[in-house]
Amino acid sequence: MKKYILVTGGTKGIGRAIIEKFAADGFHIITCARNERDLKTLKLEIEQKYTFSKVFYQATDISDPLAVEAFLNYVRSLKVKIDVLVNNAGVFIPGKITEEDNSALQFMLENHLLSAYRITKGLVADMMKRKSGHIFMMCSTASITPYTNGGSYCVAKYALFGMTKVLREELKNHNVKVTAILPGATLTASWEGVDLPPERFMKPEDVASAICNAYYMSASTVVEEILIRPQLGDI
């Protein structure tokens, strides 16, 4: 029986690496991102490379509650069982709480916390009913380490980590696994323009491998947290 993974923000970086990893294992893919052209390219490339995997997508601004609900309605219309949910989408904007725009906190919360909250709420009831499923939350080392220039990004990631812990407690008796991913600096578009060598960063594929390995643990085991940093430490 075919399995389905839903990855938000699946066209680039860690999200794309996760999709590649699970498509190679024969999963069908459901994803969203803001840019429809990128989504079309993703579908074409994945389905050509992994001929047994189908890609379903909808262009979605996850910071918009109405857009998230439209995406959830699209997912429901597929009438499939979601085996793996990865709340990956997000955006990093540096800044200090004392200096950033007053709208920064709400924007970060919408992109990281509230989008994951809404999407999880929209899909978790079916997982609970089936007593099956695995939810991954893309937190960050910024979920446990306050960075001076992290501002509202850190606040949102701390909150997402907290929500992940609460979900773990709520869902353990429903046999739904919940895992927090806390990656450090990973070579993605968020670090474009930084004058550092590529080897100073982690690879998105390494984060994807960690998620895949956690998923394939036996039914009696859950990896609650995965903390991953560059070999030389945080940047």
Q: Walk along the chain (235 residues) and give the pLDDT tens digit of each residue.
A: 799 999 999 999 999 999 999 999 999 999 999 999 999 999 999 999 999 999 999 999 999 999 999 999 999 999 999 999 999 999 988 899 999 999 999 999 999 999 999 999 999 999 999 999 999 999 999 999 998 889 999 999 999 999 999 999 999 999 999 999 999 988 776 666 677 788 888 999 999 999 999 999 999 999 999 999 999 988 7
- Is residue 220 situated within a structural domain? yes
Among 130, 103, 134, CA closest to 120: 134
Residue 104 lies in a domain: yes
What is the rounded CA–CA span in Å between residue 34 and residue 128? 29
CA gap 13, 29 in Å, rounded: 16
* CA separation for the pair 45, 54 (Å, rounded): 11
The pLDDT score that the predictor gives to residue 185 is 86
Q: Is residue 235 part of a domain?
A: no
- Domain holding 135, by residue range, is 4-228
User: pLDDT tens digits, residue range 12-26?
Assistant: 999 999 999 999 999
Residue 188 structure tokens = 């993605």
Per the domain annotation, does 233 fall within a domain? no
With respect to residue 234, please indicate whether it lies within any of the assigned structural domains: no
Segment holding 130, helix H or strand E: helix 115-130
Query: Rounded to an integer, what distance in angstroms lies between the CA atom of residue 70 and that of residue 211?
Result: 27
What are the C-alpha distances in Å from 228 to residues 137, 199, 200, 218? 14, 15, 13, 22
**How confident is the model over 176-199, as pLDDT tens digits?**
999 999 999 887 766 666 777 888
Please report whether residue 105 resides in a domain.
yes
CATH of the domain at 212: 3.40.50.720
211 belongs to a structural domain: yes
- Domain count for the chain: 1
Which segments of 15-124 are extended strands (E)?
A: 28-33, 55-59, 84-87
Distances (CA, A) of 43 to 9, 34, 72, 139, 171: 13, 15, 19, 26, 32
pLDDT at 197: 81
pTM, two decimals, is: 0.95
